[in-house]
Amino acid sequence: MSQPSCPDAEMYLAVLSALPDAVVVVDLNGALLFCNAAAKALLPGGIAGLGGSGNQPDYQVLDPQQQPLTPAELPLNRVLVGQRLHNEELILAVEQPPQTHWVACSGGLSSGMALLTLRDISAAKQQEASLVQQAFYDPLTGLPNRHLLIDRLGQALACAQDDPHRVMALLVIGLEQFKLINDNLGHQVGDEMLVELGTRLQAQVGSDNTVARLGRDEFAVLLDNLTSQASAITLTETIHAIVQQPFGLQPQQVHVNASIGVAFGSETYQSAFDWLRDADAAMEQIKEHPDLGWQVFDSSLRVQQDLRLQTEVDLRQALDRGELRLHYQPIVIISNEEICGFEALVRWQHPTRGLLMPGEFIHIAETSGLIIPLGWWVLTEACRQMQVWTEQYPAMAEFTVSVNMSSKQFSQQNIVEKIQKILDDTGFVARRLKIELTEGVLIDHSDGIIATLQQIRAIGIKLLVDDFGTGYSSLSYLHRFPFDCLKIDRSFIENADQDFEKLEILQSVVRLAWNLGLDVVAEGVETPRHHAQLKALRCELGQGYLFSRPLAPAAVEAMMAEKAASLSDLPTVTRPT
């Protein structure tokens, strides 16, 4: 190395030596003139790896994609031919001990010498990588998240613009029963299942395709450059099958099902968000048709999705505008056909679509969370109306009202206190209120709901199992939960006069209820033969079109006024309800 020839040079070299950055100075032939301590530490074996002269170094220079540089691309060689470098990022791969350093290179020619500086930016790059990981990857599974998926969808659509025959498919996978697993087995088991599922999906589709986790129980798969749409369907069926394979998690095997929505990418999509929206719409469609494992998106689903979104917007406004209505279907004593109560059924008086039945909006209320305020409105209005009628019509003094409550209402805090406040505010007595619960409520809350139901029952409210017989474990519910009554699903009433097996089931259910001290309500009584059979089976209560359709409040009042006029007073029902 040349020695300084003047005091200014000495000072100059002293400054360079003290710099934290690696500094290398060579002559125009590439021979080393100076390198500071930082350069010696960073470049084991000398500067030859940068393009200077010397022995074979113990490191290799790579580009940011970790590819080796050609001799002409090495930073010192570039500076020696007159190029100026400014913070160009490269990687130094050291052989022994194996390690890598990210460096920012700057340099140029000056006074017949070539100067190169290398700043170690490894810590900054590591922090950057950590931020990228957090921003674009799911922390649990390590899979790409929604943001990175959207980016890759955009890239795939850009490729499709240049190659209109390119076949691509996006799968959105929604898991069923995942909340039940989390609630019953714990979040750790649920997390283990998600990680294993991500591994299964990636192994199935390969590294050339993208598997992403969209949310708690949703995944997506981008299948690119397929041979045909048929191959995508075949792979979708395979994915559906591997999701259904048991997960060997402690303390037991876990089974889940999946709904898979498929949308084929094409030049018609201008936005990755639109593509993801359509695949998600196809997946949501399966929830309304659970017998389907997967669904391919078509334009009719977009119309349904748009209607669904508009219905949700309108429903939010309906709660504020007072557009909801209650109709009341009479519940009668089978033996004498006298009315003993009503079931309150919600309707929606839509400003442009007319009177909507529950099937047109309740499922939207459930998925959007609007079922919570809607459910409380139904309970409040039913109690208020029944109290008004009690004061107007003495014959209704013992009539009961049955109200359905959703699973999401039971997720709220202080549910018992809210029910009690409604009773206090309306003046309606608790013993005349019946709350109907579906199997979904019991599944979603499991053991945690028993204490709540016991508190509700302690107030004096009666509890009913709705749609009894449709669930796989309904019989166990009757033993575990404090019910007073069960409602036999209409599917067991239909054609019972022609189906001996159904008739046997009906008889068994009624006997079971007797043995457990429960009342029985038969839904869907539509023909005199239904009525006669239920009467022969000594089923106590029934409702259905044979007796009455659900009635608007004005129709109930007209019916009661007519009875009062013809009988002067409706006989009081003495049978306990």
Q: Which residues pair with 89 in a beta bridge?
A: 104
* Fold agreement (138-297, 309-567): no
Q: Average pLDDT for residues 210-229, to the nearest whole number?
A: 90
Q: What angle do CA 310, 315, 320 make, to 5 degrees?
A: 135
Q: Where are the domains of the chain?
A: 7-126, 138-297, 309-567
**What's the CA gap between 327 and 347, in Å, rounded?**
7
pLDDT higher for 572 or 53?
53
Segment (H or E) for 60: strand 59-62
* Amino acid type, 69: L
Q: What is the CATH T-level fold of the domain 309-567, as seen in this structure?
A: TIM Barrel (3.20.20)
Superfamily the domain 7-126 falls into? PAS domain (3.30.450.20)
Q: Which range among 19-28, 298-307, 332-341, 469-478 shows the weakest confidence by mean pLDDT? A: 469-478
The total of other beta-carbon atoms located within 10 Å of residue 210's CB is 22
Provide the mean pLDDT of the chain. 85
Distances (CA, A) of 262 to 144, 174, 434: 19, 12, 43
* Alpha helices per DSSP H over 517-552: 528-536
**Predicted pLDDT of residue 483:** 85
Identify the band that residue 476 occupies on the pLDDT scale cut at 50, 70 and 90.
Answer: low
Query: What is the per-residue pLDDT across 277-320, written as a single tens digit (0 to 9) for each?
Result: 889 888 888 876 767 789 888 877 677 777 888 888 999 999 88
Quick one: residue 495, left, alpha or beta (phi over 0 = left, psi -120 to 50 = alpha)? left
**What's the CA gap between 21 and 566, in Å, rounded?**
104
Say yes or no to pLDDT of 5 above 80: no
Say yes or no to pLDDT of 376 above 90: yes
138-297 domain in CATH 3.30.70.270? yes
> What's the first-to-final CA gap in the chain, in angstroms?
106
Calculate what percentage of the chain has a pLDDT beyond 70: 89
**What's the CA gap between 344 and 117, in Å, rounded?**
81
| Sheet containing strand 113-120, strands side by side | 32-35, 22-27, 113-120, 99-110, 85-94, 59-62
Q: Which range among 131-140, 239-248, 421-430 shows the weakest confidence by mean pLDDT? A: 131-140
Identify the band that residue 495 occupies on the pLDDT scale cut at 50, 70 and 90.
Answer: low
User: With the CA atoms of 554, 556, 557 and 561 taken in that order, what torsion angle do they form, in degrees rounded to the nearest 10?
Assistant: 140
Instruction: Give the pair of three-digit tokens for residue 376.
Output: 């409380």
Of 32-41, 92-101, 341-350, 446-455, give the range with the top mean pLDDT. Answer: 341-350
Say yes or no to pLDDT of 4 above 50: no
**Predicted pLDDT of residue 512:** 80
Query: What is the per-residue pLDDT across 497-525, written as a single tens digit (0 to 9) for each?
Result: 666 777 777 787 788 888 888 888 988 88
Say yes or no to pLDDT of 572 above 60: no
Query: What is the per-residue pLDDT across 53-96, written as a single tens digit (0 to 9) for each?
Result: 777 788 999 999 999 999 999 999 999 999 999 999 999 999 88
**What's the CA gap between 214 and 304, in Å, rounded?**
23
Say yes or no to pLDDT of 109 above 90: yes
**Predicted pLDDT of residue 577:** 46
How many CA within 13 A on the CB side of residue 44?
13
- Residue 406 in contact with residue 371, Cβ under 8 Å? yes
**Predicted pLDDT of residue 511:** 83
**Predicted pLDDT of residue 429:** 96
Query: What is the per-residue pLDDT across 346-368, written as a single tens digit (0 to 9) for each?
Result: 999 999 999 999 988 998 898 88
Say yes or no to pLDDT of 576 above 50: no
Say yes or no to pLDDT of 539 above 80: yes
**Predicted pLDDT of residue 355:** 94
What DSSP designation does 398 have? T
**Predicted pLDDT of residue 473:** 45
Say yes or no to pLDDT of 568 above 60: no
The full length of the chain comes to: 577
- Residue 359 in contact with residue 560, Cβ under 8 Å? no
